[in-house]
Amino acid sequence: MRQALLTLAIVLSLVPGAQASSRDPKRPTTQEINDIVKSVPDIYQKGVQAALHKAGNNGRALIQALGAASSVEEKEALAFLIAHMPQRDLRSLDAAYLLENVRYALKARHAAPWGKSIPEAIFLNDVLPYATFNERRDNWRKDFYDRFMNPAAATGTIKDAVLMLNTESFKALQVQYHATKRRKPDQSPYESMQVHYASCTGLTIMLVDLLRAVGIPARAAGIPLWTNKSGNHTWVEVWDEGWHFVGAAEPEEYDKTWFAQQASETDPSRPEHRIYATSFKETGLAFPAIWCPKIHWIPAVDVTERYLKKK
């Protein structure tokens, strides 16, 4: 009997369709992926297709988000995010999170006095993204929009809005710098609000998110080690007809921070002394995450030369 069953099993395995499929039924099928990919702009189709295959079971949530897009600009924004998302996010972020992030980013773009002046590529890469580094993925976009969009827009300009937010928002959210009272360097905005303290990295994450919530392009920048060996530092870059830098929770004019002189004197011949800025889309270069050296998936651009020119 045992031999007969074994023979039957072998025969069935050779008959097309007789063997149970090994594919996880929770994962989207190739046909489902191909169908949704056809609906996104051509420029993102290859990236979205690859991302959906990497997403595993969460691919269905990403397909759901793309299918729920109610306009061409929503579909393009979602496609950009999905095409460039790190794998940890592809496998975890749900449709509701992504849709709210996209819709409020676009809402800020239309509400801000400076919205129409932001180039499309800058908006996609430096306003739309929901995160800066590897921090916990908080759902901050709507919250910060509701709190700060009106007062930011009332200032009339990006420069004035940056100064206002860098002054008032940290007071309103009750977060300040402390080297040891913060729980970890890479705190998310709500983690910093919970403990009321943050490192320069945590403050930078918060200010980048605050600025993006009101439609201002922003990204993090930093240096792994100052040339005088005094340590590393992280700060914020703001796009206002070009990139400028400010210290988070350090309300100063553009490019006039306490570290401006040090930044202008860095040594470009040493990778640890170069200055890097974050990017959401891939660049072929990784941001040096000093708080977790094993992380090599945060895209970056080398901006050292721009700081040297300010010497």
Q: Closest Cα partner for 174 from 151, 138, 203?
A: 203
Tokens of 178: 């402390």
Calculate the CA 208 to chain-centre distance: 10
d(CA 62, CA 276): 30
Mean pLDDT calculated for residue range 157-167: 97
pLDDT digits (tens, 9 = 90+) for 178-231: 988 999 999 999 999 999 999 999 999 999 999 999 999 999 999 999 999 999
Q: Which amino acid, one-letter code, is at 279?
A: S
Phi and psi at residue 261, to the nearest 5°: -65, -45
d(CA 173, CA 212): 16
Name the residue with tokens 């490192």.
199
d(CA 151, CA 283): 35
Q: Give the CA count within 13 Å in the CB-facing half-sphere of 57.
A: 4
d(CA 307, CA 60): 44
pLDDT digits (tens, 9 = 90+) for 45-72: 999 999 999 999 999 999 999 999 999 9
Which of the four CATH numbers 2.60.120, 3.10.620, 1.20.272, 1.10.12 does domain 119-311 have? Answer: 3.10.620
Q: What is the pLDDT of residue 310?
A: 76
Domains in the chain: boundaries: 23-93, 119-311
Q: Is the pLDDT of residue 173 over 50?
A: yes
**In this structure, how many other beta carbons lie within 10 angstroms of the beta carbon of residue 296?**
10
d(CA 134, CA 119): 26
Question: Strand pairing of 176-177 and 197-198?
Answer: parallel
Phi and psi at residue 172, to the nearest 5°: -65, -35
Model pTM?
0.91
3-class secondary-structure state, position 47: helix
Burial grade of 43 (CB within 10 A; 0-12, 13-18, 19 or more): exposed
